[in-house]
């Protein structure tokens, strides 16, 4: 049986995909600068100790020691001098806000394109997607031997790609609540307050990073033919 080239990804989808890649990397890097400049992290080097408990009061990652029995100023296990990022709040905020607008504009353009072009039909989960996604997982674990039915995106991808769009929207919403807590006080209150919005923003970032690693692992697993499709738009089919 011969091979043929089949169109898979339109040019616009490929552009949205590759623009998002460096934008998200810069946003995560600058977000770490903003986080590490927060004055809950003391600048002096203190002896590392085993934390008495773990608090999610600030960002979901802050250990609290017995001799600092307050959530107002917990002492972290990692020191700023250990990671050597210093106080780079202004730099982090400048990069973060510039690339945040690029992220928003690219996201809006992506959603509009997928809706107007009809690409959403390949992306949105269907009623049977969760059941079929289980079959995809079993296939990836080599438990199910039968090949998956041919489709542009399998049902696990439909769920994952739709979920990451929702995460992107939540990232923007929580970011706005942190950026303008006074002007958008109604939004900050709706999210549970300023500290809650910060924690939610951080957790959503963690989910983005998790998606990124899983996505890369799946691309490597799928092989060069699948990766070439997101670059050239074409896939080789039997």
Q: What is the DSSP string of 38-101?
A: STTS-SS-------SEEE-SSSS-EEE-TTS--SSSPPPSS-HHHHT--S-HHHHHHHHHHHHH
pLDDT of 35 strictly over 80: yes
Identify the band that residue 190 occupies on the pLDDT scale cut at 50, 70 and 90: very high
**pLDDT tens column, 62-75:** 444 444 444 444 44
- Contact predicate 37/92, CB 8 Å: yes
Per-residue pLDDT, 79: 45
- Contact predicate 148/135, CB 8 Å: yes
Per-residue pLDDT, 1: 58
pLDDT of 30 strictly over 60: yes
pLDDT of 198 strictly over 80: yes
**pLDDT tens column, 82-106:** 556 667 788 889 999 999 999 999 9
pLDDT of 29 strictly over 50: yes
Q: How far apart are CA 44 and CA 216, in angstroms?
A: 38
- Contact predicate 136/155, CB 8 Å: yes
- Which one has a higher pLDDT value, 86 or 143? 143
Query: Among 79-88, 101-110, 115-124, 187-196, which is the least confidently predicted range?
Result: 79-88
Mean pLDDT of the chain: 80
Measured CA distances, 175 to 37, 42, 60, 170 (Å): 17, 25, 16, 8
Cα diameter, the chain: 72
CA dihedral 24→30→31→32, nearest 10 degrees, is 120
pLDDT of 57 strictly over 70: no
pLDDT of 50 strictly over 60: no
Q: Buried (b) or exposed (e) across 189-212, using 16+ Cβ within 10 A? A: eebeeebbbbbbbbebbeebeeee
**pLDDT tens column, 38-49:** 655 544 444 444
């Amino acid at each position: 049986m011969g091979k043929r080239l089949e169109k898979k990804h339109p040019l616009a989808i490929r552009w949205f995909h590759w623009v998002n890649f460096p934008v998200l990397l810069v946003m995560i890097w600058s977000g770490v600068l903003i986080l590490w400049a927060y004055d809950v992290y003391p600048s002096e080097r203190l002896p590392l100790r085993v934390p008495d408990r773990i608090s999610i009061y600030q960002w979901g990652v802050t250990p609290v020691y017995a001799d600092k029995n307050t959530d107002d100023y917990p002492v972290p296990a990692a020191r700023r001098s250990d990671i050597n990022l210093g106080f780079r709040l202004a730099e982090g905020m400048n990069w973060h806000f510039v690339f945040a607008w690029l992220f928003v504009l690219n996201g809006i353009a992506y959603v509009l394109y997928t809706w107007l072009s009809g690409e959403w039909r390949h992306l949105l989960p269907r009623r049977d997607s969760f059941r079929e996604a289980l079959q995809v997982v079993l296939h990836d674990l080599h438990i199910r031997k039968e090949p998956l039915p041919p489709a542009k995106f399998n049902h696990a991808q439909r769920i994952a790609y739709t979920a990451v769009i929702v995460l992107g929207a939540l990232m923007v919403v929580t970011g706005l609540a942190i950026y303008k807590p006074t002007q958008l006080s109604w939004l900050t209150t709706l999210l549970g307050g300023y500290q809650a919005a910060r924690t939610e923003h951080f957790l959503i970032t963690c989910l983005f990073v998790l998606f990124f690693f899983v996505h890369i692992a799946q691309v490597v697993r799928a092989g060069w033919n699948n990766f070439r499709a997101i670059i050239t738009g074409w896939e080789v089919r039997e």
